[in-house]
């Protein structure tokens, strides 16, 4: 009989001991999360420290241990602390789209169960750390859009379960190693500094996975510059002889023309040298006005008649024109080119907007920039330099940076980064036929958030820094569909334009002069932009015009009749799990387009609300992705080893 109390004693002792271990482990998780909160801050990490960590936003637990930590787009900044390694049961770590910097802390290499690591869209730097290759359970690794440098290590082959590897938009150099990862189905190293040939095992990936590097081989061009099996395409001896004869004849013709021009110049040179250029004219030397064919205009970018499209023929002031003779760069922008290089660049028209025409200029050394040729500039030179100087000093990750400008009495040019994916307007409305890739909710909400952050930053710089021309054609996109706001600060340079944006449907009802747009008027225009994202309809959509209503009134009429789902673009209706978030964003857009400015929220409030909506959506999507990863992992183990995956 004495054995029963003894057994009961040991049973109770075992339960208490187990409970203390669980409490100890959760306490360790709590300490790690509190260290993270203290190090990186963030507006949304308003955790109630008196409650269980399992109730905190972004934290998910199983069996009283933290297994998922998802804090995307939370405005976190600074360096990660050496504390996350204490989250020993963590399976998913998502810190994407913040402003975290510095190296990845080494203790993350201790997270053995980690399956998903999402760090894209931050400012992490240094080489990709070797301790990541200890994470044998990694299924998805996304380090894109950071500042990682160095070479891609062949030790990635240690991550045998890896299915996703995204490294695009970094500073990686060297060659791509041979990667023997049978499960790898998503891969991207575009827009780095890589060189050499693409390994055979990666040749089946799409070309977009390798763009923006100096790579060759399938799926890009072959490394010898020819197509496969090109023996039949080699030039015959007769063809080579014909080319040589043609070159010789061409050389003789050029020589004769030069002799003729020199003799003509000798006869009339003295008289021309004494002539003074007429007022308002700017001389362009023939070697600087580069046009593909036809007559180059002396007023700037000239349309050529050849297949080369439009070529740069920017006037460089050589007479009494005021202004600098070269480009004026901002901040720490690399001086990789000058006006002479810009004059020789080939270019093509990207679009004609309210403030001028924008060109894509490809310089001889391979640099690609966007150049806007301003029109109707009415301010003085001093005002221009002051105003454009303030624009050039504004820096934010969601604004298209102004890199340089050129001022001349007859020419005003602005040089920006080139955005290869074009504008939101083209993405939404450019191709609505068969073959179009649907624009999903995550992409649309991410674009809305990026644009809101950029505009809110402009407003935070002072009352005079309203944008004044917000519309979908001024929201440009990176290769990963991140929003960059363009054309800010230009409304204050031009003369009165009372009607353009009114016709486009973006201008607030109280605005009569584009030079005097308040931040609340910007909010109205941004509300129209949100409605455009949600409905798929442009403000000038013919269906709306036929009914004699604008986009906000059409949306409100549909919502009033409780046909809310009829408002949304058909491409969004497939995402049933985020319908509540879509409705919240729709209501925010309606609030932004209130008739009276005082009834509209501030841009900072708009940004905060979209951050909360995106955070909610990201959690739902990450949970869905985890389920898919679990299914994939179980299938992998059942095939490879017949054993279930470890937790």
What are the Cα distances from residue 480, in Å, to 146, 483, 484?
Answer: 13, 9, 11
d(C-alpha 601, C-alpha 613), whole Å:
16
3-class SS of residue 373: strand
Ramachandran assignment for 196, one of left (phi > 0), alpha (psi -120 to 50 degrees), beta (any other): left
d(C-alpha 573, C-alpha 571), whole Å:
6
Residues 570-581 as b or e (16 or more Cβ within 10 Å = b): ebbeebeebeeb
Residues 6+ apart with CB under 8 A from 483: 398, 424, 446, 447, 448, 449, 450, 451, 454, 475, 476, 477
Q: Peptide bond preceding 219: is omega within 30 degrees of 0, i.e. cis? A: yes
Bridge partners, 25 (sequence order): none
∠ Cα 170 175 180 (to 5°): 100
d(C-alpha 529, C-alpha 6), whole Å:
73
Residue pair 629/140 in contact by the 8 Å Cβ criterion: yes
Query: Is residue 316 a known part of a binding site?
Result: no
Six-digit token pair at 275?
Answer: 């002539």
Bridge partners, 349 (sequence order): 359
∠ Cα 498 512 608 (to 5°): 115
Q: Which residues are annotated as a binding site for ATP?
A: 372
Q: Which residues are annotated as a binding site?
A: 372
């Amino acid at each position: 009989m004495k054995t029963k109390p003894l057994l009961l004693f040991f049973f109770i002792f075992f339960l208490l001991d187990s409970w203390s271990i669980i409490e100890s482990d959760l306490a360790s998780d709590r300490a790690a999360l509190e260290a993270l909160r203290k190090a990186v801050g963030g507006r949304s990490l308003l955790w109630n420290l008196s409650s269980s960590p399992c109730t905190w936003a972004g934290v998910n637990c199983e069996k009283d241990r933290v297994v998922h930590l998802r804090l995307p787009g939370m405005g976190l900044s600074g360096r990660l602390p050496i504390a996350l390694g204490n989250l020993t049961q963590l399976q998913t770590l998502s810190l994407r789209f913040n402003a975290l910097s510095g190296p990845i802390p080494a203790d993350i290499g201790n997270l053995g169960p980690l399956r998903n690591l999402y760090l894209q869209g931050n400012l992490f730097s240094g080489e990709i750390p070797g301790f990541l290759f200890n994470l044998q359970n990694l299924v998805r690794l996304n380090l894109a859009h950071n500042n990682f440098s160095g070479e891609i290590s062949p030790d990635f082959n240690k991550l045998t379960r890896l299915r996703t590897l995204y490294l695009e938009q970094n500073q990686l150099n060297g060659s791509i190693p041979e990667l023997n990862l049978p499960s790898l189905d998503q891969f991207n190293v575009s827009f780095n500094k890589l060189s050499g040939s693409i390994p055979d095992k990666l040749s089946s990936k799409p070309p977009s996975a390798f763009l923006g590097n100096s790579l060759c081989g399938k799926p890009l061009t072959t490394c010898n510059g020819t197509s496969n099996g090109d023996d039949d395409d080699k030039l015959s001896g007769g063809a080579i002889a014909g080319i040589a004869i043609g070159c010789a004849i061409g050389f003789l013709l050029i020589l004769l023309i030069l002799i003729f021009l020199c003799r003509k110049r000798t006869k009339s040179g003295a008289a021309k040298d004494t002539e003074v250029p007429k007022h308002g004219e700017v001389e362009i030397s023939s070697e600087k006005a580069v046009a593909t064919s036809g007559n180059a205009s002396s007023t700037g970018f000239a349309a050529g008649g050849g297949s080369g499209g439009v070529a740069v023929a920017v006037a460089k002031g050589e007479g009494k024109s005021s202004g600098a003779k070269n480009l004026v760069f901002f901040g720490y922008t690399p001086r990789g080119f000058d006006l002479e290089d810009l004059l020789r660049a080939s270019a093509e028209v990207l679009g004609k907007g309210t403030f001028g025409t924008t060109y894509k200029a490809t310089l001889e050394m391979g640099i690609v920039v966007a150049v806007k040729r301003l029109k109707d500039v009415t301010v003085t030179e001093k005002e221009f330099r002051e105003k454009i100087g303030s624009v050039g000093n504004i820096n934010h990750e969601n604004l298209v940076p102004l890199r340089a400008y050129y001022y001349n009495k007859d020419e005003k040019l602005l040089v920006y980064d080139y955005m290869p994916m074009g504008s939101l307007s083209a993405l939404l409305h450019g191709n609505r036929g068969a073959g179009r890739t649907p624009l999903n909710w995550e992409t649309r909400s991410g674009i809305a958030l990026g644009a809101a952050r950029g505009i809110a930053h402009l407003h935070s710089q002072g009352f005079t820094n309203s944008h004044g021309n917000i519309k979908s054609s001024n929201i440009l996109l990176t290769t990963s569909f991140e929003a960059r706001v363009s054309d800010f600060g230009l409304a204050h340079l031009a003369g009165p334009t009372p009607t353009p944006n009114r016709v486009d449907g973006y201008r607030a009802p109280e605005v009569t002069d584009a030079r005097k747009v308040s931040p609340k008027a910007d909010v109205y225009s941004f509300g129209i932009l949100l409605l455009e994202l949600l409905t798929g309809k442009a403000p000038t959509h013919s269906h709306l015009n036929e009914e004699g209503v604008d986009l906000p009134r059409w949306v409100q009429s549909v919502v009033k009749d409780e046909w809310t789902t009829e408002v949304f673009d058909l491409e969004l209706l497939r995402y049933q799990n985020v319908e509540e978030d879509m409705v919240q964003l729709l209501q925010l857009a309606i609030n932004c387009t209130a008739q009276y400015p005082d009834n509209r929220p501030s841009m900072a409030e708009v940004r905060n609300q979209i951050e909360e909506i995106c955070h909610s959506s990201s959690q739902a999507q990450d949970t869905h992705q985890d389920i898919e990863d679990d299914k994939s992992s179980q299938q992998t183990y059942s095939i490879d080893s017949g054993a279930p995956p470890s937790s």
